């Protein structure tokens, strides 16, 4: 039996697949920002999106009547420029004070208390005259993408985690067992229960032994008080084969960096997410998991994700749980950014039962780039994904929040393998290979997910091994994902 066909035998046949063609090389970074097409661009080096003012006209007009609120508006600073300035940094007469952690970042977003009847010309003049001030932008409300209905489990076991077999996780274990270089995954969420017995040994620590950062309190205690971040982290990193709890999709090479940006109700702002992403960049994350959502265009998110991929970080983003089609007129951040920015991967949810789009999942043949299990049966209140919960327990939750970390785990496996073998890579290369060589194709999903791709870890491991068995594949060049293994599997 050929090793190139074993993964597909469970459906009975192997069919050729017209692989996704990435034409990002047709764009020059200094000519393109976020291009909402399949021709993805790698991040560029611009300081902010395209201009300094990102407040839409109707909203700005409304503020001339009622004034700005502290919660909803942000100013973005070039931190080094600010620190080197001889004068205190101000905007419209308000002093801008950087917190200690901000001072270690390249950029930071601060909250503004704007005056009533703001003058657009005054905005423009002050921004243009101060190179340290990068942008004024709306600060959208953010929430995690958790489905509301959950079902607690008292005695969880790996046999109750249907997504493990669905993803053919066991067929990736041989490859994963050989990974000996750490992969740091930043979960920008409600924090993580770092005392959970299934996560404690997998926690990342900084040089002072701290597990991450709490953007809300500006402290170094990112303890989860909601449960969402702990659940998401467990899907990737819960310790396997330890005789208790649940199993994650990776191994000891993964380190969980906890960044708390959402409160105990799972809510926050895009400014908090922005600063959380900047923390992950500053502290060497390899992957960022964003199981969060906000509606509409979000320039803070666009800028932060461009910074992340410029820093070599892969980002996974949940599409959201509104059962809606994502269109140019109905965008959901951060998912809509994925198709235009190489290294950011937008993830929709499928059910493990019936292999169909989950009934809660947002979808789009353009904006949903890959799918993964976010439920076992999305029509059933106890049909969620089983993972870690607060206080050492476990729980089932349904949502695209649960699908995104499945892809995070796949990216971690691929990055870990490349690091172990001393092979350089780009975020674009990781994304390209995952979407071409880490999926099964379900033709029925093509109206809802680009290409109909469903993540499969077993197939990814097989194709990764096959690709690097070619002597020329490890010749010291940067892995860019452009050359695939040639193995594909289609489910008609």
Q: What is the pLDDT of residue 324?
A: 96
Residue matched to tokens 């929430």: 143
Q: Where are the beta strands (DSSP E) in 37-179?
A: 53-54, 73-78, 90-91, 94-95, 107-111, 133-138, 141-144, 150-153
Average pLDDT, 10 consecutive residues per value, the chain (492 residues): 39 28 25 32 53 63 46 80 87 86 89 70 82 84 63 51 92 94 98 96 97 97 97 95 85 97 93 97 98 93 96 97 95 95 97 94 97 94 92 93 98 96 93 94 95 95 85 60 57 52
* β-pairing verdict for 53-54 and 292-295: unpaired
SS3 state of residue 99: coil
Q: Which two tokens stand for residue 239?
A: 């310790």
Q: What is the pLDDT of residue 276?
A: 98
Is 169 catalytic? The answer is: no
Residue matched to tokens 């970042």: 105
Q: What is the pLDDT of residue 196?
A: 96
Is 401 catalytic? The answer is: yes
Stated length of the chain: 492
- Of the residues 401, 436, 485, 488, only one is catalytic, namely 401
- Of the residues 189, 193, 286, 307, only one is catalytic, namely 189
Cα separation, 318 vs 372, whole angstroms: 10
Give the start-to-end residue ranges of the domains of the chain. Answer: 53-140, 143-422
Q: What is the pLDDT of residue 150?
A: 47
Q: What is the pLDDT of residue 53?
A: 73
Is 221 catalytic? The answer is: no
Closest by Cα among 320, 338, 318 to 34: 338
pTM score over 0.85: no
- Of the residues 102, 144, 228, 231, only one is catalytic, namely 228
Radius of gyration of the chain (CA): 22
Q: What is the pLDDT of residue 3?
A: 37
Yes or no: is domain 143-422 CATH 3.40.50.2020?
no
CB 261 within 8 A of CB 215: yes
Listing DSSP states for 191-257 in one string gives ---TT-TTTGGGB---TTS--EEETTTTBS----SSSHHHHHHHHHHPPPSSSSS---SS-TTEEEE
Cα separation, 175 vs 168, whole angstroms: 13
């Amino acid at each position: 039996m050929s090793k190139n066909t074993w993964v597909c035998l469970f459906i009975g046949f192997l069919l050729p697949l017209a692989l996704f063609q990435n034409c990002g090389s047709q764009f020059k970074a200094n000519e393109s920002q976020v291009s909402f097409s399949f021709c993805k661009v790698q991040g560029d080096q611009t300081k902010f999106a395209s201009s300094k003012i990102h407040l839409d006209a109707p909203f700005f007009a409304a503020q001339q009547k009622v004034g700005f609120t502290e919660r909803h508006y942000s100013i973005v600073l070039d931190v080094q420029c600010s620190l080197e300035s001889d004068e205190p940094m101000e905007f419209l007469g308000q002093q801008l004070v950087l917190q200690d952690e901000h001072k270690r970042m390249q950029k930071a977003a601060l909250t503004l208390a704007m005056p009533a009847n703001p003058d657009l010309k005054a905005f423009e003049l002050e921004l243009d005259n101060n190179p340290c001030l990068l942008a004024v932008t709306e600060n959208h409300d953010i929430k995690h993408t958790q489905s509301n209905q959950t079902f607690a489990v008292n005695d969880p076991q790996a046999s109750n985690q249907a997504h493990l077999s669905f993803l053919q996780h066991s067929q990736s274990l041989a490859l994963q067992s050989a990974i000996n270089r750490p992969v740091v995954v930043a979960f920008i969420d409600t924090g993580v229960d770092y005392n959970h017995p299934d996560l404690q040994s997998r926690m990342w620590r900084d040089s002072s032994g701290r597990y991450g950062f709490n953007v809300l309190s500006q402290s170094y205690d990112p303890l989860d008080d909601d449960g969402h971040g702990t659940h998401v982290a467990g899907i990737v990193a819960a310790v396997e084969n330890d005789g208790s709890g649940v199993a994650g999709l990776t191994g000891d090479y993964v380190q969980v960096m906890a960044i708390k940006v959402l409160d105990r109700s799972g809510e926050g702002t895009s400014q908090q997410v922005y600063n959380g992403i900047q923390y992950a960049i500053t502290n060497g994350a390899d992957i960022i998991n964003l199981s969060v959502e906000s509606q509409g265009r979000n320039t803070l998110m666009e800028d932060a994700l461009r910074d992340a991929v410029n820093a070599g970080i892969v980002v996974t983003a949940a599409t959201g749980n509104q059962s809606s089609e994502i269109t140019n007129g109905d965008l959901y951040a951060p998912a809509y950014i994925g198709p235009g920015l190489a290294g950011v991967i937008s993830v929709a949810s499928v059910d493990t039962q019936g292999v169909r789009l989950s009934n809660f999942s947002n979808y789009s043949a353009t904006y949903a780039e890959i799918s993964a299990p976010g439920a076992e049966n999305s029509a059933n209140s106890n049909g969620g994904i089983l993972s870690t919960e607060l206080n050492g327990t476990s729980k089932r939750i349904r949502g695209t929040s649960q699908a995104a970390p499945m892809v995070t785990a796949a990216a971690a496996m691929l990055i870990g393998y490349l690091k172990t073998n001393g092979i350089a890579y780009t975020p674009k290369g990781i994304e390209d290979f995952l979407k071409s060589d880490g999926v099964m194709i379900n033709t029925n999903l093509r109206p809802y997910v680009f290409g109909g791709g469903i993540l499969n870890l077993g197939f990814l491991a097989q194709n990764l091994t096959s690709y690097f068995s070619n002597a020329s594949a490890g010749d010291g060049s940067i892995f860019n994902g452009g050359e695939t293994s040639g193995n594909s599997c289609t489910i008609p």
